[in-house]
């Protein structure tokens, strides 16, 4: 059987299974699976709020956390992580103790405790874990957090350092944390375990280094706050009220903040700190919304940080149409009507730095109504494009979406995920790991490339436009020496390189252009012997390509899609890759569940249950559409 026949057979099977999995409302509900963090935090929340009727859920989460522990006692955030992850191990250990169903003396808990001690103790955990530990009374609030005054809420948006210089998803976590740290609040119940004995003493030299790093920041806040005219007591109260209002104004219809589980977790503690009773409707609704993120469509239940419904539905709807399902098909119509209903009508935090355009974007999850992002928006626009040519209401939605995307181009020529021109590196004064990728929202190759792909393939913007020229210049400037590009929201250099190549090709860049030829050469140089591609999450931490030494379906599909876009004929390397992809789609092992989505560098990686369908469907369709003529 030749390649096209094999592809046709596989496409037929993928299309059939996907159409049968569609929900009645037109969406696809695949799971968004991260590390154990959200499971651990849910147990901690249930115990802190002293909720007594969720024991089945606690038991289920305990079993899931236990099943993810490594033989050495550690937990990992990706399977091939060396030895283990300190923060994940602390979260797993503490939550199991807090559950009440696990004894501290259990051998696997002793192993976890030993791993924590040997790797620096609680003091060496990442900042999000430290915040959880401070909130639950396990450690004192770190001085680097306490140094940030709640009065930062009152500094104007144009201030060199203000809360609005952070990207929105960072603000959504930091503002609740600042409320609690400034109140010096922690929340201990009779059931709260005490693991403070795992807090290793920080060396004098380390303490001096931290204090030195804090001096400039401390001086800045002192000078900035002196310019505010009212008394310190009045300013502090105003700042607390503003912080509380900020949180409440960003609560979604399901009770969650910003539609994120993690932000909602910290929100609950902030509301408690501000005097809200544990039975207050805001807290009860938040818990209900967070519980709704439970995913049961898997071997074990787990808590999603934010369900990926809109993302999955948009990508699948576009990919199915590329695979030959007509836009008039009942399933495609249902999906596009669902997407139409999820276009945002509200102004969100994106409008702070981009106030002169009406809402028109799409968000990630079904409940998300005011946190749109570029990725979801271009994916949804690709899906509805055929209908926008014939249906007025889709045309209006499409036009407003395109206008919003174009308005979000950064001054440097690239696109970022959520907000415009949010790359204030003055905030690197804060000594947090990966602050450039966690606190800010700079232009990235994956966002820039995919935006160019949409604009080049689906709009009539001239190839010589300034929009495209600025983006091409940004990609040229940010290409790695080896020809690859770093991708922020996927794993990692394969992801960024795929997006950049397909984006550049969509706006007319030649295969012979050095940007393309160098990138293609790099992709071919890392092809595995089996014909596929695979990259470790360690690439994200080390900021250089690290091979997985195995092939995964999504990464193989990304590499193939890039090579197909840059080759007029199917080369032997492409053919080998297609065979590898077809083989991977028949396999049912860890290669299909390896996390290829990125959240927090070094801390949170995502296995999208949809990715083994979306990206192979797209790559195989592109092969067929380009070469089977």
List, by residue number, the catalytic residues.
Answer: 375
Q: Which of 184, 202, 49, 59 is nearest to 125 (CA)?
A: 202
Q: In this structure, how many other beta carbons lie within 10 angstroms of the beta carbon of residue 315?
A: 26
Collapsed DSSP state (helix, strand, coil) of residue 76: coil
Compute the distance between CA of residue 524 and CA of residue 543 in angstroms, rounded to an integer.
Answer: 20
- Tokens linked to 620: 């195989």
- Tokens linked to 25: 């409302």
Contacts of 465 (CB under 8 A, 6+ apart): none
Contacts of 242 (CB under 8 A, 6+ apart): 153, 154
**Residue keyed to tokens 């935006």:** 451
Contacts of 308 (CB under 8 A, 6+ apart): 30, 32, 364, 365, 608, 610
How many residues would you count in the chain? 629
Collapsed DSSP state (helix, strand, coil) of residue 36: coil
Backbone angles phi, psi at 248, to 5 degrees: -65, -35
**Residue keyed to tokens 């956390």:** 65
Contacts of 307 (CB under 8 A, 6+ apart): 29, 31, 32, 293, 295, 365, 366, 367
End-to-end CA distance of the chain: 17
- Tokens linked to 124: 């060496």
Q: In this structure, how many other beta carbons lie within 10 angstroms of the beta carbon of residue 549?
A: 11
| Angle between helix 466-477 and helix 445-458 axes, rounded to 10 deg | 150
Q: Which of 443, 541, 558, 540 is nearest to 499 (CA)?
A: 558
Contact 600, 128 (CB under 8 A): yes
Residue ranges of the alpha helices (H) in 33-126?
37-48, 55-67, 86-99, 107-118
Compute the distance between CA of residue 421 and CA of residue 440 in angstroms, rounded to an integer.
Answer: 9
| Angle between helix 374-388 and helix 392-407 axes, rounded to 10 deg | 150
Angle of CA points 497, 583, 64, to nearest 5°: 80
Compute the distance between CA of residue 307 and CA of residue 292 in angstroms, rounded to an integer.
Answer: 9
């Amino acid at each position: 059987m030749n390649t096209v026949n094999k592809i046709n057979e596989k496409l037929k099977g993928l299309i059939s299974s996907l159409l049968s999995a569609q929900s009645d409302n037109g969406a696809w509900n695949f799971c968004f699976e991260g590390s154990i963090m959200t499971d651990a935090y849910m147990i901690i929340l249930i115990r802190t709020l002293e909720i007594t009727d969720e024991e089945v859920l606690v038991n289920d989460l305990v079993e899931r956390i236990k099943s993810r522990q490594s033989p050495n006692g550690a937990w990992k955030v990706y399977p091939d992580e060396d030895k283990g992850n300190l923060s994940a191990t602390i979260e797993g250990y503490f939550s199991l103790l807090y559950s009440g169903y696990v004894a501290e003396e259990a051998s696997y808990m002793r192993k976890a405790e030993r791993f924590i001690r040997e790797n620096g103790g609680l003091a060496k955990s990442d900042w999000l874990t430290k915040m959880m530990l401070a909130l639950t009374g396990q450690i004192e609030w770190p001085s680097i957090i306490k140094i940030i005054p709640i009065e930062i809420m009152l500094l104007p948006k144009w201030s060199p350092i203000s809360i609005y210089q952070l990207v929105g998803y960072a603000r959504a976590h930091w503002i609740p944390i600042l409320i609690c740290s400034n109140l010096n609040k922690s929340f201990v119940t009779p059931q709260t375990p005490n693991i403070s004995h795992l807090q290793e003493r920080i060396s004098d030299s380390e303490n001096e280094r931290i204090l030195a790093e804090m001096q400039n920041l401390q001086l800045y806040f002192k000078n900035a706050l002196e310019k505010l005219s009212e008394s310190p007591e009045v300013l502090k109260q105003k700042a607390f009220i503003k912080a509380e209002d900020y949180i409440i104004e960003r609560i979604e219809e399901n009770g969650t903040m910003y539609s994120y589980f993690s932000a909602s977790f910290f929100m609950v503690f902030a509301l408690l700190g501000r005097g809200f009773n544990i039975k207050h409707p805001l807290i009860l609704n938040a818990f209900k919304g967070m519980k709704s993120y439970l995913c049961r469509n898997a071997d074990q239940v787990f808590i999603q940080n934010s369900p990926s419904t809109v993302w999955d539905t948009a990508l699948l709807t576009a990919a199915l149409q590329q695979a030959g399902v007509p836009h008039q098909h009942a399933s495609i119509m249902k999906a596009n009507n669902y997407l139409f209903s999820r276009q945002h009508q509200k102004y969100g935090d994106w409008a702070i730095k981009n106030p002169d355009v009406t809402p028109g974007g799409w968000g990630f999850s079904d409940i998300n109504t005011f946190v749109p992002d570029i990725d979801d928006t271009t994916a949804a626009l690709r899906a509805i494009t055929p209908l926008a040519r014939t249906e007025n209401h889709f045309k209006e939605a499409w036009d407003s979406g395109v206008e919003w995307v174009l308005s979000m181009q950064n001054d440097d020529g690239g696109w970022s995920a959520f907000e415009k021109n949010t790359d204030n590196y003055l905030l690197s004064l804060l000594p947090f790991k990966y602050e450039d990728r966690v606190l800010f929202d700079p232009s990235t190759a994956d966002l820039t490339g995919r935006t160019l792909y949409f604009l080049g393939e689906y709009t009539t913007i001239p190839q010589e436009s300034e929009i495209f020229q600025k983006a091409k210049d940004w990609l040229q400037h940010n290409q790695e020496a080896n020809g690859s590009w770093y991708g922020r929201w996927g794993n990692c250099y394969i992801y960024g390189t795929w997006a950049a190549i397909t984006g550049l090709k969509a706006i007319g860049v030649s295969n012979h252009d050095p940007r393309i030829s160098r990138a293609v050469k790099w992709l071919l140089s890392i092809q595995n012997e089996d014909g596929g591609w695979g990259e470790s999450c360690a690439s994200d931490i080390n900021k250089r390509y690290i091979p997985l030494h195995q092939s995964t379906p999504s990464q193989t599909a990304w590499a193939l899609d890039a090579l197909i876009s840059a080759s007029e004929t199917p080369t032997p390397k492409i053919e080998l890759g297609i065979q590898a992809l077809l083989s991977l789609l028949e396999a049912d092992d860890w290669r299909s569940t390896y996390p290829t989505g990125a959240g927090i560098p070094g801390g949170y990686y995502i296995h999208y249950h949809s990715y083994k369908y979306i990206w192979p469907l797209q790559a195989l369709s592109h092969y067929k559409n380009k070469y089977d003529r």
